[in-house]
Structure 1
Amino acid sequence: MNYRNLYDEIIAGLPDDVRIDDYAVGRPWTYMRSGGLVGICMTIPAYTRPRLRKESFLGCSLREAGEYVRSLQGQ
């Protein structure tokens, strides 16, 4: 399995009806909250291409946000 297939499998398991309620991007961590769920990850401070999404991720579904993560992986 290559990493692109891994992203596809993870995204397929994300619910489309669960929305992002809050998030913050900082150094070195980024966090996201959706209802009673919270996720964190390391922030990579590299800007090698234009932003794909100009608007906020507030209200965005977890699946849609996952699609943006996958698009950063070269798809």
Structure 2
Amino acid sequence: MWGIYDELIAAVPEELVVTECMIGLYWTLVRSGGVGVSLTMRKEPGRLNLGKITGVSLRELASNIKSWNNLRAMVGLAAINAAFNTPEQLAKLLGHPLTFQEHANAFSHYIEQVRGKKVAVVGHFPGLEELAKVSQFSILERNPNPGDFPDPACE
């Protein structure tokens, strides 16, 4: 069950340490060379109780992704995102340097790749309408609009 998370945690370089962690109203941020964000679960009960976070191993913080406490898991996800969100790491994973696309709408760039396919997007983002016109399209959303699926439907 935890396989993909274990692989992501193991891929976080051991030498990285957390230089900054902020939990905001909408987004949680972790910085360690790269910057990672995740959605802040504002409606979740409980306390975080992570102690002092700056100076902690990024890999250790990332292991919180496996917590059943959503507050801890959101910090773990932001930590994983911080590890991979660097130009060098992305180039290594992609096998080539990054190139920048000049598309104002990131989703329009993928129109031909998703044409006629089943597509699900987590979150109701602006600009998704174009994808819906060319694919079997679903949106998973914490606060669903008409036609969206609530996020528990991801199972």
TM-score over 0.5 (shorter chain):
yes
User: What TM-score results when the alignment is normalised by the length of structure 1?
Assistant: 0.75
Structure 1 unaligned segments of length 5 or more: list them.
Answer: none
2:33 equivalent to 1:39: no
Structure 1 consecutive aligned stretches of length 4 or more whose deviation exceeds 2 Å:
50-53
More helix by share: 2
The total of aligned residue pairs comes to 68
Higher RCO (CA-CA < 8 Å; seq separation 6+): 1
Match for residue 56 of structure 2?
A: 60
Quick one: percent identity of the two aligned structures? Answer: 31
Taking the aligned partners of 1:10 and 1:27, their CA distance within structure 2 comes to 26
Amino acid at match of 2:11: G
Deviation at 1:52, TM superposition (A): 5.1
Query: What root-mean-square deviation, in Å, do the aligned CA atoms of Structure 1 and Structure 2 show?
Result: 1.8
User: What TM-score results when the alignment is normalised by the length of structure 2?
Assistant: 0.40
Structure 2 unaligned segments of length 5 or more: list them.
Answer: 70-155
Tell which structure's C-alpha radius of gyration is larger.
2
The one-character-per-residue Cα deviations of 1:7-60 (angstroms, maximum 9, x if unpaired) are 11110101121001011101110111113x111110112125x5452x121011
